[in-house]
């Protein structure tokens, strides 16, 4: 893995393939490994840059609460280090929240962007309470019980029985999240603002991907705008984890979008 220093913290990343640069951000308690099945389907035509976000995977996990803006700044510093002036940026869930902050402040660095099972809405008051409970739970009991409870809820209900290997893989990735990384990122998600305006006001091509059976972020929460620059895709029979539940379909969706970005 490549490494750069952002704000005094090491951020690790994978850099595979050749062509127009595409940056893929993973979700909460994930890592670049979430994208391992999708990248080989894209890397013949695209240079795929896949970081481990602050607090996740092999990247440093500083103590304290993070902000989504800090996490987006890590991404811009990664692009600077790689001397990439413009990329397409796609983020899964937490990665989508970061993508929106990036698009809000660094639109000139983007050819297009997208949310995969993510939303521009902020946390509801109830969700904010749950974040605090999650933080306290992780601080008291560690990451393992948290991941054991959270990960199955990310998948379409049927897949829990039909594809236990997917759940196992996602848990194994999740267990590697340092507790202070998970709590730091949970606080970042809790404090994020409403960014629907970023989607409605952008002149860039946007991809919104939802999972038909996503119990975490429903399609209605993903599809908050309807404008000609926005491509909306619902992947059937998947939950919140199409990169594991339907990597071929997700890759195909991304390639179709990247063709639109190129033609823009
Ligand atoms: C994620 O997958 O990143 C999380 O489920 C997002 C969230 O908790 O809001």
Cα radius of gyration (the chain): 17
Percentage of the chain with pLDDT > 70?
100
Answer yes or no: pTM beyond 0.90: yes
DSSP for 52-117, please give it. PPTTSTTS---SS---HHHHHHHHHHHHHHTT-S-EEEEEETHHHHHHHHHHHH-GGGEEEEEEES
Give the CATH number, domain containing residue 150: 3.40.50.1820
- Does the interface predicted TM-score (ipTM) exceed 0.90? yes
Q: Closest Cα partner for 52 from 98, 14, 17, 102?
A: 14
pLDDT at 227 over 90: no
Give the domain extent around 200: 2-263
Q: How many CA atoms lie within 13 A of 149 on its CB side?
A: 8
28 lines ligand 1 (CB under 6 A): yes
Between the CA of 264 and the centroid of ligand 1 the distance, in Å, is 31
Structurally, how many domains does the chain consist of? 1
Express each pLDDT in 183-202 by its tens digit: 999 999 999 999 999 999 99
Q: Mean per-residue pLDDT for 134-157?
A: 98
94 lines ligand 1 (CB under 6 A): yes
**C-alpha span between 10 and 17 (Å, rounded):** 23
Between the CA of 200 and the centroid of ligand 1 the distance, in Å, is 22
């Amino acid at each position: 893995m490549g490494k750069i220093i952002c704000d005094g913290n090491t951020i690790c990343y994978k850099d595979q393939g050749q062509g127009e640069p595409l940056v893929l951000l993973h979700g909460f308690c994930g890592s670049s490994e979430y994208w391992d099945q999708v990248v080989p389907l894209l890397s013949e035509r695209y240079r795929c840059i896949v970081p481990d976000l602050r607090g996740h995977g092999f990247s440093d996990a500083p103590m304290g609460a993070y902000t989504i803006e800090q996490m987006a700044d890590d991404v811009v510093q990664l692009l600077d280090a790689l001397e990439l002036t413009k990329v397409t940026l796609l983020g899964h869930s937490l990665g989508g929240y970061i993508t929106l902050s990036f698009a809000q402040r660094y639109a000139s660095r983007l050819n297009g962007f997208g949310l995969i099972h993510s939303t521009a809405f902020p946390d509801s008051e109830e969700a904010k309470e749950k974040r605090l409970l999650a933080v306290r739970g992780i601080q008291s009991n560690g990451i393992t019980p948290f991941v054991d409870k959270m990960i199955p809820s990310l998948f379409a209900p049927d897949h829990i029985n039909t594809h236990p290997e997917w759940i196992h893989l996602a848990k194994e990735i999740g267990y590697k999240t340092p507790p202070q990384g998970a709590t730091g990122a949970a606080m970042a998600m809790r404090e994020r603002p409403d960014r629907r305006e970023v989607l409605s006001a952008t002149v860039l091509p946007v991809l919104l991907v939802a999972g038909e059976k996503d119990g975490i972020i429903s399609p209605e929460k993903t599809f908050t705008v309807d404008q000609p620059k926005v491509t909306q895709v619902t992947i059937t029979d998947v939950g919140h984890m199409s990169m594991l539940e339907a990597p071929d379909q997700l890759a195909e969706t991304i390639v179709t979008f990247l063709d639109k970005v190129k033609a823009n």
